[in-house]
Amino acid sequence: MAFRIDQEALVLGALAAGPQHGYGIVKQLRDGSSGLFNMNEGQLYPLLHKMQEAGWIKGEWVTSDSGPAKKMYALLDEGRFELGRRQAHWRRFSSAVGGLLFAEEDASVKTQDSLPEGLEVSHG
């Protein structure tokens, strides 16, 4: 089953822990989701540019003694606000979906909890 994902919210969430370069963002999304969110560079970098234009993140080139310069991305205050807005939306959405998908299961538990001791509901 396919679900529509909010890639912007996932990237904002990845950056909430601190600044990261592109590969670090991709790795955090992949590892943090047990491989479910496997974003490639062709998806990530246009998204990062769009988010910079929106004022949610900033990107700065950082030099290193151990290799080439890397562009590090960091969450700005406007991005933290946007992340909070999307987190609230996700909580409402997942609660509504869970209520629909597990309504029968929840009703069974509530019914079972309200029965006298020793009795149980049969779903046969």
* CATH assignment at residue 81: 1.10.10.10
Q: How many domains does the chain divide into?
A: 1
Q: Report the C-alpha gap between 83 and 77 in whole angstroms.
A: 10
Decide if pLDDT at 100 tops 90.
yes
Q: Is the residue at 81 inside a domain?
A: yes
> Domain of 22?
7-114
Q: Report the C-alpha gap between 86 and 63 in whole angstroms.
A: 33
Stronger pLDDT, 104 or 78, i.e. the higher one? 78
What pLDDT shows up at residue 17? 92
What pLDDT shows up at residue 124? 44
Stronger pLDDT, 117 or 21, i.e. the higher one? 21
Q: Is the residue at 122 inside a domain?
A: no
Q: Is the residue at 120 inside a domain?
A: no
| Averaged pLDDT for residues 15-43 | 92
Q: Each residue of 3-21: pLDDT tens digit?
A: 667 899 999 999 999 999 9
Name the percent of the chain lying above pLDDT 90: 63
Q: Is the residue at 36 inside a domain?
A: yes
Q: Is the residue at 80 inside a domain?
A: yes
Q: Can you give the pTM of this predicted structure? A: 0.76
What pLDDT shows up at residue 123? 47
What pLDDT shows up at residue 62? 93
What pLDDT shows up at residue 117? 61
Q: Is the residue at 23 inside a domain?
A: yes
